[in-house]
Amino acid sequence: MPRNRPQGSNLRCILIEIVVFVITFVVGGSLALYWCSEEKVEEHDVPPTNLVELPDCQCPPFKLMDQDDIRKNTGGQYLRNLQTWDPMIEHNAEYPCWFNIECRAGLGVSSYFTTLFRSNGNPIYINRVVSNRSIFTYQPREIGDFKCAQHTDGSYQWHFHNYPVTDVGFACQADVDSCHCPYVKIDDQSGARVQERFPGALDQCYLYTARCDVHEFSSEDHFPFLSSEDTIINNLAVSHNIFYDDLICIKEDTVFNWYYSNKKLEDVIIKCGSIEEELEKSKVCQCGAFPVINKVEMLAKYKYYQTRRYISANVGKNSWTPSCKFNITCEEGFKGVVFSDNYDPIEFSEIYVTCTFNPLSNDLHMWIVNSVRVINPAGGCFKKR
Ligand SMILES: *[C@@H]1O[C@H](CO)[C@@H](O)[C@H](O)[C@H]1NC(C)=O
Ligand SMILES: *[C@@H]1O[C@H](CO)[C@@H](O)[C@H](O)[C@H]1NC(C)=O
């Protein structure tokens, strides 16, 4: 049965409605006026100016990254405080997806990096300039094994060493803080000897060429290592003079720290030692060892929070053998996992690994695992869950 309201309350309702209407109008109107005067309406039909399109190339445009973009880039945010400016990207109408890249000195900065950012991994340093001179080869630079290709889903993506890199961006970043970074110790007891690599560069400290004095009483070959709290960088250079082009001093919010690629180092020491027998045995390429994990105990050297998911997992049969280029493939029900000192475990049903030239110098090599650069990797097959 419908309820009839008494006549008197009808008028009250109308009055309340008018009051509510007026309040809404006045408040809404003044808020709108306030916002419109504070903020310009965003213009969505104007494309962002920080994108570089390669006309006729089917791969996505590149982004010129500013500091804010770098702060939001998961793999690259450790570089967020460095002075940043745009590189120049040159392309050629004849080869639609070809390009090269150059960073010029900016605003009183004479030492700087060219860096590639992406959303699915840590940055790759493309070029390093010290005192206005590229330390390896002239700019502009091309990037080795970087190409536009179709991904398995049919989309065109940039590929670095045969695996897609997504949301690719580039930046020039200053490298002028190294004299603020912690002292790099030299263990001369072990035979380590160093020489300043760029003696004229006032903005560079502790960047050495290292070698080992021959031990009179030892028949073993000794090599320099860059050793830190939880990692050992072992650049197996062709000669016995070893250098560390990826070593860069990064200004964190209140302190300065050394990084090797994206790996933060603490208590950095250059020391000499013979290459351990085990390491020597599993050495497969100029990049050094790529141990095959066939028992969980081998995970002990990696950080617990990264390995705890795998410690109770079954280790599968490893029917693959590391070499300079290889695939990790696992039996049914297992997946490949690569552990490293500088990256979270990389899991895929198929993993492509290559030992390749470091863009910073042809005398340096690096492991690349599905387009990600890893330091001291090891891999194995683990039961899927
Ligand atoms: C590098 O080049 C810039 C611009 O030409 C110049 O101002 C600066 O003094 C140079 N720096 C060094 C260390 O030579
Ligand atoms: C790795 O696997 C891919 C895809 O199956 C294949 O094209 C490539 O040749 C393999 N690479 C090596 C070094 O076995």
**What are the tens digits of pLDDT across the range 114-152?**
999 999 999 999 999 999 999 999 999 999 999 999 998
Mutate to test the pocket of ligand 1, among 110, 130, 131, 133 (most ligand atoms within 8 A of CB): 110
For ligand 1, is residue 131 a contact (CB within 6 Å)?
Answer: yes
| Cβ atoms 327, 352 nearer than 8 A | yes
Q: Whose CA is nearest to atom 5 of ligand 1?
A: 105
| Cβ atoms 223, 275 nearer than 8 A | yes
**What are the tens digits of pLDDT across the range 10-29?**
656 565 675 655 555 555 55
Which residue(s) pair with 210 in the sheet? Answer: 194, 242
Smallest Cα–Cα separation from 379: which of 291, 288, 317? 291
Share of the chain above pLDDT 70, in %: 82
Integer Cα distance of 185 and 269 in angstroms:
5
Sheet bearing 361-369, strands edge to edge = 325-329, 350-358, 361-369, 372-374
Q: Whose CA is nearest to atom 14 of ligand 1?
A: 131
| Ligand 2 centroid distance, CA of 327 (Å) | 6
Query: Is the pTM value of this prediction over 0.95?
Result: no
| Ligand 2 centroid distance, CA of 284 (Å) | 18
Asked if pLDDT for residue 274 goes beyond 80, the answer is no
Mutate to test the pocket of ligand 2, among 162, 327, 371 (most ligand atoms within 8 A of CB): 327
Token code pair at residue 304: 């617990």
| Cβ atoms 383, 333 nearer than 8 A | yes
Return the ligand 2 atom nearest residue 350 CA: 2
Smallest Cα–Cα separation from 372: which of 163, 202, 192? 163
Mutate to test the pocket of ligand 2, among 159, 350, 352, 368 (most ligand atoms within 8 A of CB): 352
**What are the tens digits of pLDDT across the range 315-348?**
999 999 999 999 999 999 999 999 999 999 999 9
Which residue(s) pair with 169 in the sheet? Answer: 63, 117
Token code pair at residue 338: 């690569």
- What pLDDT sits at residue 93? 84
Could you tell me the sign of the dihedral formed by the alpha carbons of 377, 379, 383, 385, in that order? positive
Which residue(s) pair with 355 in the sheet? Answer: 367
Closest ligand by atom to 336 CA = 2
Token code pair at residue 33: 């006026």
Closest ligand by atom to 322 CA = 2
226 to each of 4, 258, 341, how far by Cα in Å? 88, 12, 14
Q: Whose CA is nearest to atom 11 of ligand 1?
A: 110
- What pLDDT sits at residue 249? 97
Integer Cα distance of 128 and 207 in angstroms:
13
Residues with CB under 6 A from ligand 2: 325-327, 352
**What are the tens digits of pLDDT across the range 154-188?**
999 999 999 999 999 999 999 999 999 999 999 99
State mean pLDDT over 301-322: 90
- With b for 16 or more beta-carbon neighbours within 10 A and e for fewer, the 345-361 pattern comes to bbeeeebbbbbbebbbb
- Encoded amino acid at 14, one letter: I
Cα-to-chain-centroid distance, residue 41: 36
If you average pLDDT over each of 35-49, 76-90, 231-245, which comes out highest?
76-90
Q: Whose CA is nearest to atom 12 of ligand 1?
A: 131
For ligand 1, is residue 110 a contact (CB within 6 Å)?
Answer: yes
Confidence at 239, pLDDT banded by 50, 70, 90: low
- What pLDDT sits at residue 106? 73
Confidence at 263, pLDDT banded by 50, 70, 90: very high
Mean pLDDT of the chain: 87
Closest ligand by atom to 201 CA = 1
User: Cβ atoms within 10 A of the Cβ of 328, count?
Assistant: 26
